[in-house]
Amino acid sequence: MSATLHGMPERFDVIVIGGGPAGATCAGLLAKEGRTVLVLERERFPRYHIGESLIPVGMRPLQELDLLDRMEARGFERKYGGSLVWGNRDVPWNFSFMKAAEGTYAYHTRRADLDTLILDRARELGAYVVEETTVKDVIQSDTGRVTGVRFTLRGSAGDYEASASLVVDASGQSRVIGRKFSDITWHNELRNVAVWTYYDNCDRLPGDEWTNILIEGTADGWFWGIPIDKGTMSVGYVTKSDLANADDQSLEQLFLRERDKTTRLKGLLANARQHAGYRTARDWSYTNETFYGDGWVLVGDAAAFVDPLFSTGVALATLAGSSLSKVVNRILEHPAIEEKALDRYAGNYRAFFDEIRNFVERFYDRTKYKEYYYDLAQEIVDPEQLHAPSTDFVTLISGLSGKHPLLKINLDDLVANVTEP
């Protein structure tokens, strides 16, 4: 059997393992710059995934991919803010993204549709996308540098090989390369379990809250309620893993018991019909100890993931994918800057992630009033107190502070150092 697939080059500029939002964004933007890119995806799209609510900063990479008009045409539900039952005495309150920037919004989506849209766009831009593949191992040179991957194709006997100047691991929690070269740190404050399902014929929040995500706290956890489209809602419950294992109830029984203790959510579901089974996830907040190595780099959930309280998953994945594409493009132009450029990317990525994680961990203290959470956000994004704390809160959870280096990694000094006579 040929070592390469029919119609494909033997060598690429970049191989991306995983065609989810991080991998497809990185691949698409590199292909847009004229790079030869191979995407190896384990599933056949469209495929199911959780994480259906976006935040405004995630619109930036989607705009770079020229996808916003297509999202509108597909009828994705616009998201203008959030409604919470959270804090001392569980007093309801809400926020609007418009407070951070006029005209700002995000979307609620079915991830199967969104992820397919991004991966198809990567194809349009010139990336080679092969689905239903399993990456078995990396290929390394005598010096240990990763120079390619070995993979199988569903229904086909034998292995295939592909080589590249750089390999990007965007394989999500599979961590194909990360698992080989890096340990992970679990964030014990966020060792949670989630159980979720879907309902039809749901009511909506009133007035300006019509498309808001609902976040409602209970004594031992919290619920999300995401209006995906029309009367369909994604509903999930999150609690600490040790509490979920404290009695003999199943996670489904725990979900139902806690759902009946809610106020606003229970009202929205009064006439609803459950139309899907239950799904679960556990202990998902982690960070890789190493984000890159000789010939390889991590992005998206393969690098780190944080609790879904503020719907940062897709935005962090696409932002990192976009930033990494720019870094990799400069590395391909100036290979000598690889280690320092990837180190800068990794440092900025880790700092951005830690900022979100630290805020989420402290936000979980529900003994406070909303003013405490506003002040906490101001402490992180606006220590000079140039804006109102409530504005800083929206700015932070929108990802729109615009100050973080991950949004604009500058490598000019590294390039200058290697191009001087």
Q: Tell me the pLDDT tens digit for each residue of 215-234.
A: 999 988 999 999 998 889 99
Tell me what the mean pLDDT of segment 263-277 comes to: 96
- Domain-by-domain residue ranges, the chain? 11-77+109-184+289-366+394-419
Question: CA nearest 380: which of 352, 407, 405, 413?
Answer: 352
Residue 101 pLDDT more than 80?
no
- Read off the pTM: 0.95
Tell me what the mean pLDDT of segment 51-64 comes to: 94
Residue 2 pLDDT more than 90?
no
SS3 state of residue 105: coil
Tell me what the mean pLDDT of segment 276-292 comes to: 92
pLDDT at res. 32: 98
pLDDT at res. 1: 40
Asked if 289 contacts 184 with a C-beta cutoff of 8 angstroms, the reply is yes
Helix (H), strand (E) at residue 196: strand 192-200
Residue 379 pLDDT more than 90?
yes
Strand-strand pairing, 81-85 and 213-217: parallel
Residue 50 pLDDT more than 90?
yes
Phi and psi torsions of 301, nearest 5°: -65, -20
Residue 421 pLDDT more than 60?
no
Rounded to whole angstroms, how far apart are CA atoms 223 and 267?
13
Q: Report CA-CA distances (Å) from 120 to 131, 317, 403.
A: 12, 17, 31
Tell me what the mean pLDDT of segment 393-418 comes to: 84
Asked if 14 contacts 30 with a C-beta cutoff of 8 angstroms, the reply is yes
Residue 281 pLDDT more than 60?
yes
pLDDT at res. 65: 98
Residue 78 pLDDT more than 70?
yes
CA 341 to chain centroid, in Å, comes to: 22
pLDDT at res. 157: 87
Q: How confident is the model at residue 205 (pLDDT cuts 50, 70, 90)?
A: very high
For the chain, the average pLDDT equals 93
pLDDT at res. 328: 98
Which token pair is 38?
């191979």
Residue 420 pLDDT more than 80?
no
Q: Report CA-CA distances (Å) from 39 to 8, 36, 96, 322.
A: 12, 10, 37, 15
User: Which residue(s) pair with 194 in the sheet?
Assistant: 238, 281
SS3 state of residue 92: strand
Asked if 23 contacts 168 with a C-beta cutoff of 8 angstroms, the reply is yes
Tell me what the mean pLDDT of segment 84-107 comes to: 88
Per cent of the chain over pLDDT 70 is 97
Q: Omega before 46 cis (within 30°)?
A: yes
Selected residue with higher pLDDT from 358 and 293: 293
Residues 11-77+109-184+289-366+394-419, CATH architecture: 3-Layer(bba) Sandwich (3.50)
SS3 state of residue 345: helix
DSSP assignments along 362-401, one per residue: HHT-TTS-HHHHHHHHHHHH-TT--S-HHHHHHHHHHT--
If you count them, how many residues does the chain have?
A: 421
Q: How confident is the model at residue 158 (pLDDT cuts 50, 70, 90)?
A: confident
Amino acid identity for residue 214 in this structure: L
Express each pLDDT in 133-154 by its tens digit: 999 999 999 999 999 999 999 9
Q: How confident is the model at residue 403 (pLDDT cuts 50, 70, 90)?
A: low
